[in-house]
Structure 1
Amino acid sequence: MAELWDDEQVAGALKELTDWHRDGDAIVRIAKLPSFPAAIEAVRSVAEIAEAHNHHPDIDIRWRTVTFRCSTHSQGGITGQDAELAG
């Protein structure tokens, strides 16, 4: 089981994760894509990676804007699994 990260570990990981930021108990990336079909394709690509890692982000699609939110729900916060998926 993944270990919950402290604030310092999260901050260190975010330095390496371009376009990601912390929002409470999750790390978040907001992607603005050129079109709705491009947004759907981005979600498809992330879904394949998430399945391979057996770790799934919360995904919100609003027209061509996709928000990816990574948090380890079983731990109640951010773990290495979230940073690995985001990378």
Structure 2
Amino acid sequence: MLIPSTLPAGTICYMTNTSTYPKDYFVRNADFDFFNYVGLQRSVLLYTTPTTYIDDITVTTGVEHDSGQICIQAEVFCSGRALMENLC
């Protein structure tokens, strides 16, 4: 449903200072980075992932007295489901 709350059209600001702007001059203030029916006005990067892939890996380290600890946390996606593994 395309209504102002779902796709705000922006505002029109009329410039009334006639010493700086011509009569009836206005500026459109849009709240989006595209123009209707024209396409995106910025670079877009598209990429694909295999069905099973590692989305994120977090490695944390710590030292307590004379021993060290490494904790690896991996988030693996398999067919749209996420599996979180902690290896400490």
Higher helix share: 1
Question: TM-score, normalized by length of structure 1?
Answer: 0.25
Structure showing greater relative contact order (alpha-carbon pairs closer than 8 Å, 6 or more residues apart)? 1
Question: TM-score, normalized by length of structure 2?
Answer: 0.24
Which entry has the higher C-alpha Rg, 1 or 2? 2
